[in-house]
């Protein structure tokens, strides 16, 4: 029969059959990974609208972040938890947050060093934690499975899905609120608020002002961004969101510091064990 192979012994009797080989699964088309790809598309779209369209950008970015919880539910629902999916999820989180922080650093240059530090801390803590887990815990160990004896804080953070989602969601909400506040500046350029007719009016003794198309040749220029900010948003809701989410955001950064320190110590313990096996440090011979 097609799809089966028969085996015979020396006397010609059939001793067994092998079932047809099962089709190989395509990990890249698993449901949670498809959700991960959708997150990337939404994140890229939000970056496109980020310079001039705060409402559209915030909506796309928020949906991308909320899908972070949905892919985990899909992985458990369809039994499709994979290492690729876990890494895809972490890389997407780190990249999207970093891109938003880069924009905030340009929007608030006075605080750019703070945003640069947050990017560095986020990347360093997660990379060190992931590397330490794979090196010391084995290739099959998940970075979310934490031994309570090693870190009680990280155990509570990673073991409770509600806690993990709350910290991640409010952390992103704080940065989104800051992003919206960058379009709610109380200081406006008076020339940008003048009606078009009066702005283009020629007075005796003064040269005619340039047309807006000449001033803002590129729709993504710094001048165009200032024009977008002139049509400012109401800052009440962003301030409320920032105030509510700030404590959780600060707690998330504390967890990143703990994660970085614990991962560094875990790697150092492994280094010490490895050096002992190699007989290091070697004692100097007595003269």
CA-wise closest residue to 119 among 259, 263, 253? 253
For 55-68, b/e burial (b = at least 16 CB within 10 A) is eebbbbbbebbebb
CA triplet 272, 273, 278: central angle to 5 degrees? Answer: 95
Contacts of 180 (CB under 8 A, 6+ apart): 54, 58, 233, 235, 237, 238, 241
* Choice among 89, 93, 234, 271 that is catalytic: 93
Question: What is the distance between the alpha carbons of residues 153 and 143, in angstroms, rounded to a whole number?
Answer: 14
89 is catalytic: no
For 90-113, b/e burial (b = at least 16 CB within 10 A) is bebbeebbebbbbbbbebeeeeee
DSSP code at position 148: T
Write out the two tokens for 177. 């609120």
Helix ranges (H only) for 52-211 are 54-77, 83-107, 112-137, 152-159, 161-181, 190-193, 196-199
Question: What is the distance between the alpha carbons of residues 113 and 11, in angstroms, rounded to a whole number?
Answer: 82
Q: Which long-range contacts (CB under 8 A, 24 or more apart) does 257-261 make?
A: 257/121, 257/125, 258/151, 258/153, 258/154, 259/125, 259/126, 259/128, 259/129, 259/151, 259/154, 260/121, 260/124, 260/125, 260/128, 260/129
Catalytic residue numbers?
A: 93
């Amino acid at each position: 029969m097609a799809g089966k192979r028969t085996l015979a012994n020396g006397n010609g009797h059939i001793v067994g059959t092998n079932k047809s080989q099962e089709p190989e699964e395509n990990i890249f088309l698993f449901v949670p990974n498809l959700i991960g790809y959708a997150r990337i598309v939404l994140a890229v779209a939000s970056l496109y609208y980020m310079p001039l369209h705060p409402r559209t950008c915030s909506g796309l970015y928020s949906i991308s972040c909320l899908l972070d919880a949905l892919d985990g539910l899909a992985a458990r629902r369809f039994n499709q938890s994979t290492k690729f999916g876990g890494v895809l999820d972490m890389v997407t989180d780190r990249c999207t947050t970093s891109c938003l922080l880069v924009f905030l650093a340009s929007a608030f240059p006075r605080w750019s060093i703070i945003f640069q530090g947050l990017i560095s801390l986020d990347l360093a803590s997660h990379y060190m934690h992931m590397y330490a887990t794979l090196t010391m815990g084995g290739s099959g160990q998940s970075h979310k499975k934490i031994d309570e004896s090693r870190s009680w804080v990280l155990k509570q953070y990673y073991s409770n899905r509600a806690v993990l989602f709350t910290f991640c969601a409010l952390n992103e909400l704080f940065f989104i609120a800051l992003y919206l506040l960058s379009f709610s500046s109380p200081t406006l350029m008076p020339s940008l608020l003048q009606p078009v007719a009066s702005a283009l009016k020629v007075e005796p003794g003064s040269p005619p002002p340039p047309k807006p198309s000449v001033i803002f040749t590129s729709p993504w220029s710094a001048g165009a961004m200032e024009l977008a900010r002139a049509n400012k948003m109401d800052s009440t809701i962003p301030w409320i969101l920032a105030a509510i989410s700030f404590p959780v955001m600060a707690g998330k950064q504390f967890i990143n510091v703990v994660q970085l320190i614990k991962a560094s110590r875990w790697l150092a313990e492994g280094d010490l064990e490895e050096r002992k096996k190699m007989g290091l440090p070697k004692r100097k011979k007595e003269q």
